[in-house]
Amino acid sequence: MAAMKATGQLVGTRPVIFLGVDGSWRETGALEWAIQESVLRGEPLSIVHVIDERLRKTPYLTPATVDGQAMELIQQVRSELPAADHGASHLAKTVIGHPATTLAALAEGSRMLVVGRRGIGSFQRLLIGSTSEALANQARVPVVVVPDRWKPPRGAVPVIVGIDDSPQSEAAIDFAATAATERKVPVRLVHVWDLPNVYSWEARSFSDIEGDLAEHAERRVAAIADQWGHKYPDLEIQTEVRRSHPVRGLLEAADEAGAQLLVIGGRNRSRAASWLLGSTGRGVLHHATCPVAIVHEPRTD
């Protein structure tokens, strides 16, 4: 595969799929999902285990012990890799640094970054590891977070992409449409809406407002589907509009469909944004039973 600069950016034009692994890699479905994506795209994997630099400074472990355990882990991962049949070999290695920052930098310029939901070095009681959530915010490439023990679904179940009233869904829809095309399944645009809080306590008295909002949501999703149908004429584009809390609605839509993948957009990437992943993204990442892709819009500065 292409060589890497010290910054982690790829040299040359060969796209790769990055995969971050840690000691819980056997329990997560991240490796299996990344292998599937590698086969579908005909692109090699670049697998990285980040040795947390803080572990090498603890009084209970020597650097040699930490590094030795890391090398053993990466050898185990290598043994699970199939032979690459697309003209390039998979790469698996260890590096030293802060897990989230290092992985985000190494994945720069890659096709996507795949991690397990449990995270790297996280407490198992957490639904999502701190590293996984940090990567969903920091990485400029799409980040796919795979839940524990994920297995490929059976049948032509759709790829789902959540859309809202913001203009920041373009990159997410494009990612979802590409994933659906690879898998030869439909892509489903799901829009979840609800009455604003000011109306919620007397929503039944505002049936006209509710009807207007529902009609607006239907028109918006239909227009988006029409727009993307011209770009992907051979792709089946489905639409679904739900009234619910955004997190609950997206999770229920994905569960009911047995979704291949749930794609959501991040916030616009500008230096002024202190928290790039909104509450909907965080909620979906914590509770989804299928892989979730976080796809931010390109930076504007």
pLDDT in tens, 70-81: 899 999 999 888
Contact 300, 268 (CB under 8 A): yes
Contact 285, 189 (CB under 8 A): no
Residue 203 has pLDDT above 60, yes or no: no
Looking at residues 47-61, what average pLDDT do you find? 84
Contact 199, 207 (CB under 8 A): no
Q: Max Cα separation, the chain? A: 69
pLDDT of res. 122 = 39
The two three-digit tokens of residue 138, written as one number:
């920091």
Question: Of 50, 55, 17, 22, nearest to 35 (Cα)?
Answer: 17
- Predicted confidence band of residue 61 (pLDDT cuts 50, 70, 90): confident
Q: What is the pLDDT of residues 217-267, one digit of tens each?
A: 899 999 999 999 999 999 999 999 999 999 999 999 999 999 999 999 876
Looking at residues 110-134, what average pLDDT do you find? 67
Of the listed ranges 25-29, 56-60, 154-158, 276-280, the least confidently predicted one is 276-280
Distance from the first to the final alpha carbon of the chain: 31
Residue spans of alpha helices (H) in 232-278: 246-257
pLDDT of res. 133 = 85
State what percent of residues in the chain have pLDDT above 70.
80
d(CA 69, CA 75): 10
Residue 127 has pLDDT above 50, yes or no: no
Of the listed ranges 84-98, 141-155, 247-261, 269-283, the least confidently predicted one is 269-283
pLDDT of res. 119 = 46
Phi, psi of 240 (to 5 degrees): -150, 130
State what percent of residues in the chain have pLDDT above 90.
48
Looking at residues 55-66, what average pLDDT do you find? 82
Of the listed ranges 60-64, 93-97, 237-241, 296-300, the least confidently predicted one is 296-300
Contact 145, 117 (CB under 8 A): yes
Question: 80-101: b or e for each residue (b if 16 or more CB lie within 10 Å)?
Answer: ebeebeeeeebbbebbeeebbe
Q: What is the mean pLDDT of the chain?
A: 82
User: What is the number of residues in the chain?
Assistant: 301
pLDDT of res. 84 = 64
Q: Which helix (H) or strand (E) holds 112?
A: strand 112-116
Q: Is 257 helix (H, G, I), strand (E, B) or coil?
A: helix
pLDDT of res. 184 = 96
Looking at residues 140-159, what average pLDDT do you find? 91
Residue 2 has pLDDT above 60, yes or no: no
